[in-house]
A and B are shown apart, each in its own frame.
Chain A
Amino acid sequence: MKILLDLFERLHPLVGSGGKLKTLKPLVEATENFFFAPSAVTVDSPHVRDALDLKRFMVLVVVGLAPCLAAAVHFFGLRVLAMILVSYAVGGTIEVLFAMVRKEEINEGFLVTGLIFPLTLPPALPLWVVGVGVAIGVVLGKELFGGTGRNLFNPALVGRCFLAIGYPALMAGSWLAAGEGLTGRLLQYVDASTVNAVSSATPLGAAKHGLYAGVGDLFWGNVSGSAGETSAIAIIAGGILLVVTRVANWRTVAGVLGSFALLNAVLHHAAPQTFAPVGWNLCAGGLLFGALFMATDPVTSPVTNGGKWVYAVIIGVVTLLIRSMTGYVEGVMFAILLGNISAPLADEIVVRLRLRRLAHEG
């Protein structure tokens, strides 16, 4: 470790102001602070600070995604790892370039975006499409707004939305039947060339034709679908970690799932043909994944508690309506993007009410 630290020490003058490699400063700094805790000390009071920083915050999301990742590899094969690699490489490069041009630090937010994005994609999607999607997501969804913390939309969903609209045929044709048995596709690398495995309808797609997959399969995850969204149990396991560590706000999760379930229960009673049973609908598609890992992104969800409830209910309700009443098979993506765009408004209303109450205090 000492050798590595010394190496960074020797790099400091080179990347400092006036140094030969000063354009590389963000990259060197980020690498150094990845390996070694930052050397900064407090200058102003409070002279002690909380141990939590954004790195830890984001790494916990990555840890929370680990069960989903494991399930994805188990059911859809090693190709999922290749998709993740492409996503990290392309998105990471863009992140670094933007940081160098802006002369700002490289932000940890990409640790999450780079992993979450491929998990929302059909598992047999060509790798170049993954690269295009992540590039669009990071540039349009995040960097143009000023980077992590200033973005309006969830960057991963912006990328996925672009792919869904720009390459509908490719997306629809890249579903993969989940691997069967104890090892699943653990040791396989299946892509579009393996024709017989591809183009298996997702449970939500099949449901449009009246074919319902078993809830047990949905819960366990051996169904077709986006790489990380099929296994309810893996998502719940990771999600619990996020909620318990308070990285994900419970209000958002409860609001999305609660409003979805409640409305679904009522509508299923009224029109059982159009609306699937609550338990089935909760486990199917990307609802759980979206509610636990994407809607809970603190940056793109409202910051006030009241706003969070409004935002969560919008997502829950819109997901159900799109899923069951439109030509689209799944509505989570559009619902969360819609939630993102209404988040500032929801915040504004809550903030105004709060400030009105505060006006006469003290």
Chain B
Amino acid sequence: MKFRGGYNLRVKGRPSAAVEVLPEPDTLYLPLWSRRFKFAEVCVTEGERVKAGRVLARDPANFNVPLLAPRGGIVRLKAVEKHVVLENVVVAPEEPLSEADRLEHAPDKKVRNGKARHKLLVLGAWQFFSDAHTGALPDPSGQPKAVIVSTLRFEPFLARGDVQIAKRLVNFTRGLEHVQSLLEYQPIYLVLPQVKSDLAERIREAIRGYAWVNVVHVPARYPFDNPALLARHLKLKHDPKEPVWAVNADGVLAADRALTLSRPCTVRLISLGGPAVRGPKHLKTVPGYPLRKILDGRLIDPAVRVLNGGGLTDDPFAQDQLGLGAECAGITVLPELAGREFLGFMRPGADRRSYSACFLSALLPLAPLRIDTAMRGERRACVSCGFCEEVCPAGIMPHLIHKYLYRDGLEEAEAARVGLCIGCGLCSFVCPSKIELRRQMLDAQVKIRELQAEEVHS
């Protein structure tokens, strides 16, 4: 598949390459859930003093992925609902090298390099991996068809791979070697942007001798960094028995830390961006860091919406979430709609971001503009403008699927390949009739999966 569609949303608030190390907190609030995981099995007791690297909880539904204590402290389980709270936080000491490291043999000998796989899992590096097609956590003892390593993140505003790798190129290449050690002959695809950049050049230089790395160049446009899309581009079909692993730069660095140093991977390099943030940049922090402390003094607007991830696909933090989640890759802060413009639709609109060329801003396509949470229009019937089809990177026709779903034509929607939708959100973004295309298509995917599951049962 060739890359098609896509759109780079130029919005104010892109995080700079600067990395700020957040001050050590007194208390950590570790949420017992994240995007993919539910850490249902708590492994510590109330009042227990734990060291950094200790397993606080596990997700039994996801191969026992652990929630690690990023720092030492005293455990409070009941202080805040659905959180493990660590009080009196101290940096040292760390847990002695984990049990995994002392294992002479792998738990399962049939698996290639089982010891390393086990270490990745218990030291918190495995959770950076995903199944390229479904996004789920792959089986750590499974054998993939291929591995896609992406250095890109185009969604505004997630932590950029280039910032994460910049100072750790050696660790990155060593991490690649570790990932390769898990494989038999399967290829690793390293995804680099199709633009000239210093870092990409350095990466190419560093992996020159690595015959097992296939470099893939993609146009620097959202959402061509999406693993499902990359897998389709590389003609890797979905096969539950032989999944395609996808991992980002931070995951490779985590793998390196787990397998070279045998240390738990609890530090995160996340982004803090968006039009409502003063001095958007990257932050070095740990899961559980109080959200309030991250945002304090950094907001420009009085009323904001804080998103747990990027501006196009992710949702706001849950009301009751106090600390940074285990899987957070960035925080995007949007100003809430402040006031209602008088005769807004007649203004020239030099300050408006639009995919169409209907505003004066079309003459300055590269200027980053301020954008807020306004719907910017009323809900209308589809006028068949075709913008959604134009931007769709998956090559499907959102307007057509919308019309099928409007008349409950789930089977027709399936035949129109609603299943290929990657949920990038561009169709909903560009729609002048303000139709929730992304939501409708993702809901249809869930319904179709449910019906298929029912069929298998009956």
- The chain A residues found within 8 Å of chain B, CB to CB, are 1, 5, 33-42, 44-57, 59-60, 105, 107-109, 146-150, 244-247, 249, 298-299, 301-305, 351, 354-355, 358-359, 361-362
Contact = CB atoms under 8 A, between A and B. Distances in A.
Contact of B432 (A37, A38, A50, A351): A50
Contacts of B371: 48
Interface in B381-434: 381-386, 389, 395-397, 399-400, 415-417, 419-420, 425-426, 428-434
B442 to A, nearest CB: 10
Contacts of B356: 50, 52, 245-247
Interface stretch (B50-58, B170-178, B344-352): B344-352
B438 interface: yes
Contacts of A298: 383-386
Contacts of B396: 358
A296 B208 CA distance: 53
Contacts of A45: 307, 312-315, 425, 428, 438
A39 B337 contact: yes
Contacts of A46: 311-313, 425-426, 428-429, 438
A146 B232 CA distance: 39
Interface of B: 1, 9, 11, 133, 228, 232, 237-238, 305, 307, 311-316, 334, 336-337, 340-346, 349, 352-359, 361-362, 371-386, 389, 395-397, 399-400, 415-417, 419-420, 425-426, 428-434, 436, 438-439
A51 B349 contact: yes
Q: Which 4 A-B pairs have the closest CB atoms?
A: A53-B377, A149-B381, A37-B344, A51-B352
A73 B433 CA distance: 34
26 contacts: A35-B342, A35-B343, A36-B342, A37-B340, A37-B344, A38-B340, A44-B428, A45-B312, A45-B438, A47-B312, A50-B356, A51-B353, A51-B354, A51-B361, A52-B354, A52-B432, A53-B432, A54-B380, A54-B433, A105-B380, A148-B381, A245-B356, A245-B358, A247-B358, A298-B383, A354-B397
A46 to B, nearest CB: 4
Nearest to B342: A1
B278 to A, nearest CB: 19
Contacts of A47: 305, 307, 311-312, 315-316, 334, 373
A53 B344 CA distance: 11
From B237, B386, B436, residue with most partner A Cβ within 10 Å: B386
Given A42-B373, A245-B358, A49 B429 contact: yes
Contacts of B349: 51, 56
Given A47-B311, A358-B395, A361-B1, A246 B400 contact: no
Contacts of A245: 356-358, 362
Nearest to B372: A48
Contact of B415 (A35, A41, A355, A362): A355
B307 A148 contact: no
B417 A51 contact: no
From B1, B377, B420, residue with most partner A Cβ within 10 Å: B377
DSSP majority for the B interface? loop
Given A37-B344, A53-B434, A107 B428 contact: no
DSSP majority for the A interface? loop
Given A36-B341, A105-B378, 6 more contacts: A5-B340, A46-B313, A51-B354, A57-B432, A147-B381, A304-B386
A245 B432 CA distance: 14
B433 A50 contact: no
Contacts of B362: 245
Nearest to A149: B381
B383 A49 contact: no
Given A38-B375, A41-B373, A362-B419, A48 B312 contact: yes
A37 B345 contact: yes
Nearest to B396: A358
B235 to A, nearest CB: 10
Contacts of A244: 357
A108 B434 CA distance: 14
B380 A149 contact: yes
Nearest to B395: A358
Contacts of B341: 36-37
B311 A48 contact: yes
Contact of A53 (B357, B376, B416, B428): B376
Contacts of B11: 48
A240 to B, nearest CB: 12
B417 A41 contact: no
From B228, B232, B375, residue with most partner A Cβ within 10 Å: B375
Contacts of B385: 57, 298, 303
A326 to B, nearest CB: 31
A145 B311 CA distance: 37
A212 to B, nearest CB: 38
B291 to A, nearest CB: 17
Contacts of B353: 50-51
A145 B327 CA distance: 49
B375 A52 contact: no
Nearest to A359: B417
Contacts of A38: 340, 374-378
Contacts of B426: 46
A246 to B, nearest CB: 5
B354 to A, nearest CB: 4
A288 B415 CA distance: 40
Contact of A42 (B357, B375, B399): B375
Contacts of B312: 45-48
A38 B337 CA distance: 10
Contacts of A361: 1, 232, 395, 417, 420
B345 A362 contact: no
Given A47-B307, A149-B383, A354-B397, A52 B344 contact: no
A53 B378 contact: yes
A55 B346 CA distance: 9
Contact of A51 (B311, B346, B359, B384): B359
Contacts of B340: 5, 36-39
A5 B341 CA distance: 11
B123 to A, nearest CB: 32
Contacts of A105: 378-380
